[in-house]
Structure 1
Amino acid sequence: MSSYISRLLKAPSASKRLISNLTQREGKLNSWLRRLGLQRQGGAAAPPAPRPISTTPVQKSALIEDEVLATGIQKREMQLAKQGCEDPWQFTKIIRRGSGRENDPTEVPSAFDARLVGCLCLDDRMPKWMWLEKEEGPKRCECGHFFVLKNVPPVYNK
């Protein structure tokens, strides 16, 4: 123990490790360090109490339903999902080409005046992209198939 005291007296400022080693020992040395005021130096004192956590109980009846908070198209989608329509935008349905003749074109549904359409022609790996517009009527792809825009009601109208 005398080596600890000699190191403590020689050091200009006591290290945290040295002070923690000294303050952990019981007896005369501990009381002597307390008198010198070194017991609290360098983090050797007891750690501060943990910060209390405050929670507020929430009743399930106090929570607001998502449908009450939703507005616009999101609310309409939720209503359609309740009615059984899980895909109101028809993303999962791939439109298969019909005969593709000029008098019997493949109909592409759209709620807008124009729509971008990709045609997978014969042996091509990449689709050929084209814009279909309502006023134009049937439009021909490079492979010879005809497409026309079909008017469907938008999702947000009832």
Structure 2
Amino acid sequence: MSSYISRILKAPSASKRLISNLIQREGKLNSLLHRLGLQRQGGVKAAPGPRPISTTQVQKSALIEDEELATGIQKREMLLAKQGCEDPWGFTKIIRRGTGRENDPTVVPSAFDARLVGCLCLDDRLPKWMWIEKDEGPKRCECGHFFVLKNVPPV
């Protein structure tokens, strides 16, 4: 048993912590550790005690701003919001229907080749959804209203 304890004492501090826990227990193991000189009189621990706590001051590092970490579209959105544009994609703006005739259709802006448009026809509660394609010409809704896609630059 003493060779086992001597090997533990030569091991890293994690094993020494195990010995310090064993010292506190009562019984045959406690008396063996006492005979080996690993425990002092009065239950006070010997050398393999806990490690001291470092008291050196640590500098608090500053947090990195989101703008420094962002890239791509997210960064462009943050820069536009900083300039005062809260809705760069135009989601909150409702496009009002114009005259809607074939020679004067309602213009729908899009940065893509197609866009989904909902038309509130007459007294209907739900919109009629349709895809408007680029270079397709004016598209007619069920109510007779015409829509056309206008290409705009992306954000």
Confirm or deny a common fold (TM above 0.5). Answer: yes
Partner of 2:60: 58
Tell me the SS of whatever aligns to 1:131.
strand
- Provide the C-alpha distance between the structure 2 equivalents of 1:77 and 1:58, rounded to a whole number of angstroms: 30
1:76 aligned to 2:76?
yes
Superposed CA RMSD: 1.7
CA drift at 1:154: 0.5
- Provide the C-alpha distance between the structure 2 equivalents of 1:95 and 1:146, rounded to a whole number of angstroms: 13
> What CA deviation, in whole Å up to 9, does each residue of 1:27-48 have, x standing for no partner?
xxxxxxxxxx9xxxxxxxxxxx
The correspondence of residues 72-151 of structure 1 with structure 2, limited to 5 A, is 72-151=72-151
Gap runs ≥5 in structure 1: 1-36, 38-55
Tell me the SS of whatever aligns to 1:116.
strand
> What CA deviation, in whole Å up to 9, does each residue of 1:37-86 have, x standing for no partner?
9xxxxxxxxxxxxxxxxxx7634xx2111100001110000011111111
How many residues are matched? 100
- Provide the C-alpha distance between the structure 2 equivalents of 1:57 and 1:77, rounded to a whole number of angstroms: 33
- Provide the C-alpha distance between the structure 2 equivalents of 1:137 and 1:107, rounded to a whole number of angstroms: 11
- The sequence identity of aligned pairs, in percent, is 88
Tell me the SS of whatever aligns to 1:150.
strand
Q: Which runs of 4+ in 1 moved over 2 A?
A: 56-59
- Opposite residue 83 of structure 2, the aligned amino acid is Q
- Opposite residue 65 of structure 2, the aligned amino acid is E
TM-score (norm 1): 0.60
